[in-house]
């Protein structure tokens, strides 16, 4: 039997455990011997690699995060450590590797394949949803659900106390989480890096809304403009004239029971990933778009900046500018 391994790299997401469960079970269905790499690329270097059995994944589908651990490995950037990682795989006759992670993980994967010839397949797994070439990354739906629950709860207090709440989502330099959360939670304003905003122009629009009966506000702000927090709060309190509080949602966005959609996407991503490796894909990322899956070369994915689709930005234009010109 041929052997195949899986690891998680970078930030954890809900959906990784369902993906690992599918990986083990589908590997057996394809007469492959599955191995689990604990603690990401660090575990690959330190030989924390164990053969997997059905019992290892029998009760993990409801759990957030990843039971095999993850890491951000600086050591894997060095050739000597990548060589050791390859030796650890080859002594077990592991010739295929599935990586759940983001663009940094995929860059490491591409170098690893070029140097040592171990076929690799990347599964986009980041709540930031900022991987070029794919419409969806594993974990995003669960993260959006966690954000929705938090915003709904904060709205209760905002309405009770006639306050504005600035709510920061994750996303690094990408405003996807903030924009979708703002649209689906009925936020009054959203500020993201992709759409220019002008506090002076926004002031008149908000004051007009307050005059017409709005008595509180939810403002969703992307992590990519976190440096503007003090400016935003000062503007709301001093120029707009509404008492304001800041809520940074932080790492709760990564946790939680994986949603039905993330469980389904984990199943599908892994199936296409293993099938691709068996069909001869050597260094690719499984991407999703236009209601279908496809493979893209990892160097293309890892070196191309992600852009939020134009239609979604157009939908968000009003909530990001309040119609201001």
Domain span including residue 81: 2-139+258-303
Asked whether residue 131 is domain-assigned, the answer is yes
| Residue 323 CB neighbour total at 10 angstroms | 10
pLDDT in tens, 151-164: 999 999 999 999 99
CATH number at residue 274: 3.40.50.450
Same domain membership, residue 299 and residue 165: no
3-state secondary structure of 284: strand
Please give the average per-residue pLDDT across 139-155, as a whole number.
97
Asked if pLDDT for residue 229 goes beyond 70, the answer is: yes
Do residues 9 and 124 both lie within one domain?
Answer: yes
> Helix 140-161 and helix 176-185: axis angle, to 10°?
50
User: Is 317 a domain residue?
Assistant: no
Out of 128, 130, 141, 262, the active site residue is 128
The answer to whether position 319 is within a domain reads no
Q: Are residues 11 and 130 in the same domain?
A: yes
Domain shared by 268 and 230, yes or no: no
Q: Are 185 and 153 in contact (CB under 8 A)?
A: no
Q: What's the CATH code of the domain at 199? A: 3.40.50.460
Are residue 194 and residue 164 in the same domain, yes or no? yes
**Is 47 one of the catalytic residues?**
no
pTM confidence score: 0.93
Task: Of 36, 27, 46, give the one whose Cα is nearest residue 7.
Answer: 36
Say if residues 107 and 77 touch (Cβ distance below 8 Å): no
Residue 166 CA to residue 164 CA, distance in Å, equals 7
The pLDDT tens digits of the residues spanning 293-321 come to 999 988 888 888 899 989 899 989 989 98
Is 322 within the bounds of a domain?
Answer: no
* Domains in the chain, number: 2
User: Could you give the CA distance from residue 320 to residue 55 in angstroms, rounded to a whole number?
Assistant: 49
Are residues 6 and 83 part of one domain?
yes
User: For residue 309, is it within any domain?
Assistant: no
Choosing from 196, 222, 254, the residue where a domain stops is: 254
DSSP 197-252: --HHHHHHHHHHHHHTT---EEEEEEGGGGGGHHHHHHIIIIII---EEEEE-GGG
For the residues 57-66, what does the mean pLDDT come to?
A: 96
Say if residues 261 and 268 touch (Cβ distance below 8 Å).
Answer: no
Question: Which segments within the chain are labelled E, that is strand?
Answer: 2-8, 32-37, 49-51, 94-101, 119-124, 164-169, 189-191, 217-222, 244-248, 283-289, 292-297
Chosen domain end from 227, 254, 281: 254
| Mean pLDDT confidence for 262-290 | 95
Task: Answer yes or no: do 11 and 150 share one domain.
Answer: no
Residue percentage of the chain with pLDDT more than 70: 99
Q: What is the pLDDT of residue 325?
A: 40
Q: Kindly report the average pLDDT of the chain as a whole number.
A: 94
11 with 69, same domain: the answer is: yes
- Looking at the fold, whether 95 and 46 belong to one and the same domain comes out as yes
Q: Both ends of the chain: CA-CA distance in Å?
A: 64
- 145 and 111 in a common domain: no
Q: Let me know if residue 311 belongs to a domain.
A: no
Residue 318 lies in a domain: no
Residue 164 counted as domain residue: yes
Q: Are residues 147 and 242 in the same domain?
A: yes
Res. 1: pLDDT tops 70: no
Residues 207, 128 share a domain: no
């Amino acid at each position: 039997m041929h052997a195949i391994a899986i690891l998680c790299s970078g930030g954890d997401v809900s959906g990784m455990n369902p993906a690992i469960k599918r990986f083990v079970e589908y590997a057996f269905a394809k007469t492959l011997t599955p191995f689990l790499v604990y603690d990401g690329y660090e575990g690959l270097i330190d030989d924390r690699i164990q053969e997997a059995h059905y019992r290892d994944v029998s009760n993990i589908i409801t759990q957030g995060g990843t039971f095999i651990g993850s890491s951000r490995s600086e050591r894997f950037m060095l050739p000597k450590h990548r060589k050791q990682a390859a030796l650890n795989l080859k002594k077990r006759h592991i010739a295929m590797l599935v990586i759940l992670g983001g663009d940094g993980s995929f860059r490491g994967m591409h170098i690893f394949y070029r140097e040592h010839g171990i076929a690799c397949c990347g599964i986009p797994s980041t709540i930031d949803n900022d991987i070029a070439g794919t419409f969806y990354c594993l974990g995003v739906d669960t993260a959006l659900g966690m954000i929705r629950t938090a915003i709904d709860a904060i709205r209760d207090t905002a309405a009770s106390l006639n306050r504005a709440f600035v709510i920061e989502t994750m996303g690094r330099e990408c405003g996807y989480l903030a924009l979708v959360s703002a649209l689906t939670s009925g936020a009054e304003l959203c500020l993201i890096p992709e759409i220019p905003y002008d506090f002076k122009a926004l002031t008149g629009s908000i004051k007009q809304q307050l005059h017409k009966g709005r008595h509180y506000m939810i403002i969703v702000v992307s992590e990519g403009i976190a440096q503007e927090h003090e400016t935003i709060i000062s503007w709301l309190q001093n120029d707009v004239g509404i008492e304001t509080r800041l809520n940074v949602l932080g790492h709760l966005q990564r946790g939680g029971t994986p949603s039905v959609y993330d469980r389904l996407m984990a199943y599908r991503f892994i199936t296409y990933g293993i099938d691709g490796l068996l069909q001869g894909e050597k260094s690719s990322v499984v991407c999703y778009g236009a209601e279908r899956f496809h493979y893209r070369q990892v160097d293309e994915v890892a070196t191309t900046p992600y852009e939020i689709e134009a239609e979604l930005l157009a939908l968000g234009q009003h909530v990001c500018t309040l119609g201001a010109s």
